[in-house]
Amino acid sequence: MHQRQKPSTPEHRRDLAADGGALSMSHNDSRSLFNFSQLVLSAGQIKPSPALKHSKITYFEVEILDLQSKKQICIVDKVPPASTLLDVKHKFHKACPQWYPSRVGLQLERNGPFLKDSINIQSLAVSSIITLYFTDLGQQVGWTTFFLTEYTGPLLIYLLFYIRLSTIYDQVESQKNFRHPVVHLACFCHCLHYIRHLLETLFVHKFSEGHTPLKNMIKGCAFYWGFTSWIAYYINHPRYTPPSFGHRQVSYAALAFLMCEAGNHFINVALAHQTNSGNKTCFPSPTYNPFTWLFLLVSCPNYTYEAGSWISFTVMTQTLPVGIFAFLMVIQMSLWAKKKHKLYLKRFYPEVRRKAAMIPIIF
């Protein structure tokens, strides 16, 4: 007979339950540790949270000194790095209302050039304090006002002489009805020249700087207005004598004048619409328009055409005042062309290195 097993005692059952519980808990802990390890491996390397960056803007202080006495005029503080010199001038104007921005000239050095309004203030900084020297440029006028005043005067003055006012010429001689055709043609050409200048000032030209000293406008008006009075007086005088070679001389000279005027206009339009390659401005190149082909020979063809206009006008009218005026204009424009040619050599060296400044063949 089989012997019956004795039922386990309560103490024995408690020991077995304790042993089984310990085994089950150990198994659950290992599974949890395994799952946590897999989670860490799948998530990749634990990176620390990035620290917050505190951006700090550095402001500049601009110390403005008098150029002559080196005395401090004022300090413009809290100037942001992105500010331009024009912004500094506006703040300077608030501190010193008697000097408006266009009248203020600022230099980095006492003998240095005047700084442009568009220059960034941060480019001048060596430290947080920037020292600039102040010069009073005097009363200023805009470039548009400058040219409109300069060119409107000759247009009106010439017409006053053309109608032969009795206060200008002898009343008896002024009543003579006959005038040589060149007198009427000269009036037409002279008015056309200055009307073109006025229209280009309004609709074509782009001025880089906004103002110029008033004294420059006074000198320019005195030059143009004075010579126009002298020229118009001789050409419209009742005793004016026509050119030596008559109709042929007048016709060829008038044709050359009109061609130079047209060429001057098309060159000014080309200069006003210079093409850009990326961020770089390209020097104007000749197009299908034959008046722009002069770009192949000279860097300042607008001055070449301007000189040609006055030389043609001199031949057409054959008067001494026009000849003197044309001579002075050629000298002045040659100086302007030489100065511009040097700037073009710095900006557009490959394009202009083989060109003359104003007169072809003369390099």
Residues 308-362 pLDDT 10s? 999 999 999 999 999 999 999 999 999 999 999 999 888 887 778 888 999 887 5
Grouping H, G, I as helix, E, B as strand and the rest as coil, residue 182 is: helix
Q: Is the pLDDT of residue 20 over 80?
A: no
Instruction: Give the pLDDT confidence of 108-127 residue by residue, as tens digits.
Output: 998 889 998 889 998 998 88
**Per-residue pLDDT tens over the stretch 46-105:** 555 454 444 466 889 999 999 999 999 999 998 998 899 999 999 999 999 998 898 999
Q: Provide the token pair at 241.
A: 């004598």
Would you say residue 158 has pLDDT above 90?
yes
80 vs 83: CA distance, rounded Å: 6
If one compares 10 and 285, the residue with the highest pLDDT of the two is 285
User: Which has more pLDDT, 89 or 10?
Assistant: 89
Q: Decide if pLDDT at 181 tops 70.
A: yes
With bands split at pLDDT 50, 70 and 90, how would you rate the model's confidence at 18? very low
Average pLDDT over residues 134-151: 94
For the chain, what percent of residues have pLDDT higher than 90? 60
Q: Is 60 helix (H, G, I), strand (E, B) or coil?
A: strand
Q: What is the pLDDT of residue 39?
A: 52
**Residue 139 zone, left/alpha/beta (φ > 0; ψ -120 to 50; rest):** beta
286/299 Cα distance (integer angstroms): 11
Q: Which CATH architecture describes the domain 60-138?
A: Roll (3.10)
- Residue 1, pLDDT score: 40
Average pLDDT for residues 172-187, to the nearest whole number? 84
Mean pLDDT for the stretch of residues 131-155 = 94
What is the predicted pLDDT for the residue at 86? Answer: 92
pLDDT for position 274: 78
Average pLDDT, the chain: 84
String of DSSP letters for 105-144: EEESSTTSPBPPTTSBGGGG-SSSEEEEEEEE--SEEEHH
| DSSP conformation class of 318 | -
**Could you tell me the pLDDT band of residue 200, with boundaries at 50, 70 and 90?**
very high
Rounded to an integer, the average pLDDT of 259-288 is 84
Cα–Cα distance for residue pair 133/104, rounded to 1 Å: 10
Band of the pLDDT at 261, cuts 50, 70, 90? very high
The 10s digit of each residue's pLDDT in 205-253 is 988 667 889 999 999 999 999 999 999 999 999 889 999 999 999 999 9
Residue type, 330: V
H or E element in which residue 206 lies? none
Alpha-carbon distance 280 to 118, whole Å? 17
How far does CA 3 lie from the centroid of its chain?
119
Residue 35 pLDDT: 58
Coil vs helix vs strand at 179: coil
Query: What is the structure's pLDDT at 6?
Result: 45
Helix, strand counts (H, E) of the chain: 10, 8
- The residue that leads in pLDDT, 176 or 16, is 176
Domain ranges of the chain: 60-138, 139-241, 243-362
User: Does residue 193 or residue 118 have the better pLDDT?
Assistant: 193
